[in-house]
Amino acid sequence: MMPIGQVQSNTDNESKLVATSGGSAANFAVWLATLQIETHLFARVGKGDGKKFAAEFKTKNVIAHLQEDQVLSTGRIVVLIDGDNRTFFTDRGANQNLEVGVMPLEAFGDFLYISGYTVLSIGTEGTQKLMAMAKAHGMVTVCDPGSASFIKDYGAKYFLEAIEGADAIFPNLEEAQALTGEESPTRVADLLHEKFPLVVVTLGKDGAYVRNPTTAELVPGVKAKVIDPTGAGDAFAAMFMRTILDGDVKAAEAARVACAFAAEAMEVIGGQPDSAESS
């Protein structure tokens, strides 16, 4: 939802309303599929919605494994966009009941990408079980914390315990601050690097700060004509992982490529592209 002009309280506001599929994990999956990577999505939807959404994701070259909840409806989110700012109104719906044990991870490949919203739904025990399943099949585990406010509600200490053992973490600055209690990109990255081998703190238009055993580097952002920043972080992470999968590429270089890709993502409405055609 994008207001046209300044928002006025207690009255009508002319706006542009667009309904799209979304969600952090779904956005990441679709962006990754545009980069010619076989991508599987695990999620839970409301009763009767499984075939519809699986068919939609198939058009975007994403193989969707969708559980159907008999009680809760498919999750929804309203995004209020005002320039570079976004306000989210979130109902996780059926994803709150996501069942970890039925995910056939042995069928899949190189890495598992866990949304922070999934952590909130399945808790510490479920998240640890999910990562253990992935690691048992040789997969790298990556986490996007997802929401600073939800981290604060859940408790930073407990969230970090839930994702302990992850190989990489992709927080934005606000999420990293919520997880560490510190402010500067360098400080939050250093603290998170004590727990995770690879830390990439996204900084919006300012780029990203990369921290791993051999790198501590600020990668500048790429100028974009911002229409909708929703999903830019998911696009960034998708391109970063795609670039790393290509082989002997340093993390900072992967971040540079990812910043350019995220800039393109901000120039369209919605959190994911309409098709799986490569950008």
Q: Is 261 found in the same domain as 198?
A: yes
127-174 residue pLDDT tens: 999 999 999 999 999 999 988 998 999 999 999 999 999 999 999 999
Q: Is 247 found in the same domain as 200?
A: yes
Angle 145-23-109 from CA coordinates, rounded to 5°: 75
pTM over 0.95: no
Q: Is 197 found in the same domain as 136?
A: yes
Please indicate, yes or no, if residue 198 is contained in any of the structural domains: yes
Residues in CB range of 34: below 8 A, 6 or more apart = 61, 238, 273, 275, 276, 277, 278, 279
Please indicate, yes or no, if residue 278 is contained in any of the structural domains: no
- Which of 181, 75, 86, 66 is closest to 121 using CA atoms? 75
In which band, very low, low, confident or very high, does the pLDDT at 279 lie, cut at 50, 70 and 90? very low
Q: Is 236 found in the same domain as 153?
A: yes
- Which of 53, 82, 99 is at the close of a domain? 99
Q: Is 150 found in the same domain as 211?
A: yes
Q: Is 268 found in the same domain as 166?
A: yes
| SS3 of residue 115 by DSSP | strand
Identify how many contiguous H helices and E strands the chain contains and give both numbers. 9, 12
The domain tally of the chain equals 2
172-207 residue pLDDT tens: 999 999 999 999 999 999 999 999 999 999 998 999
CATH number of the domain where residue 52 is located: 3.40.1190.30
51-65 residue pLDDT tens: 999 999 999 999 999
Q: Is 252 found in the same domain as 192?
A: yes
Q: Is 176 found in the same domain as 117?
A: yes
Distance CA 247, CA 251 (A): 11
Q: Is 223 found in the same domain as 133?
A: yes
Query: 65 is in which domain, residue-wise?
Result: 1-7+39-99
